Amino acid sequence: MQHTEDTNPTSDNTYIYACASSELEEGDLIECEAGSDRIVVGRGEDNVYAVEAICTHEHFELVEGALDGNCLICPLHFACFDIRDGSVLEGPAEKPLKSYEAIEADGSVWVSYEGGD
């Protein structure tokens, strides 16, 4: 079965639809909204991952950056975050990004989100 925005792989609706798996090739980034939060989803070297969408250095859009392997690079001052867990790999950012669980199910990418409105 192909999931759509109206279906959900979990019975308790804790996953937000991000995109179709086919829309996210290795190195691609997309942004989705979950409640009042913005989340960037990317396909790293071996899986899909999700972190908060705004750089912790000076509030810039990470979806405008690049994903090199598992390194999410902010385009403004080139901080590098590990998209697998949001940790800082290279400054100038010092604070890690919030990380979310991302999964693929039946052709779609989903992000675990329990802080919704």
- My answer on whether omega of the bond before 92 falls inside 30° of 0, hence cis, is yes
Query: Which residue, 77 or 85, has its beta carbon nearer to ligand FES?
Result: 77
Query: Which residue, 47 or 87, has its beta carbon nearer to ligand FES?
Result: 87
Query: Which residue, 19 or 55, has its beta carbon nearer to ligand FES?
Result: 55
Choosing from 79, 102, 109, 111, the residue that interacts with ligand FES (CB under 6 A) is 79
DSSP state of 76: T
Please measure the distance between the N-terminal and C-terminal CA atoms of the chain and give it in whole angstroms.
Answer: 28
- Enter the tokens of residue 73: 């690079």
> Per-residue x/- marks for ligand FES, 38-77, CB under 6 A?
-----------------x-xx-x-------------x-xx
Query: Which residue, 45 or 61, has its beta carbon nearer to ligand FES?
Result: 61
- Enter the tokens of residue 3: 């999931």
Q: Are 43 and 29 in contact (CB under 8 A)?
A: no
Strand 71-73 and strand 80-82: the pairing is antiparallel
Which residue ranges make up the site for ligand FES (CB under 6 A)? 55, 57-58, 60, 74, 76-77, 79, 92-93
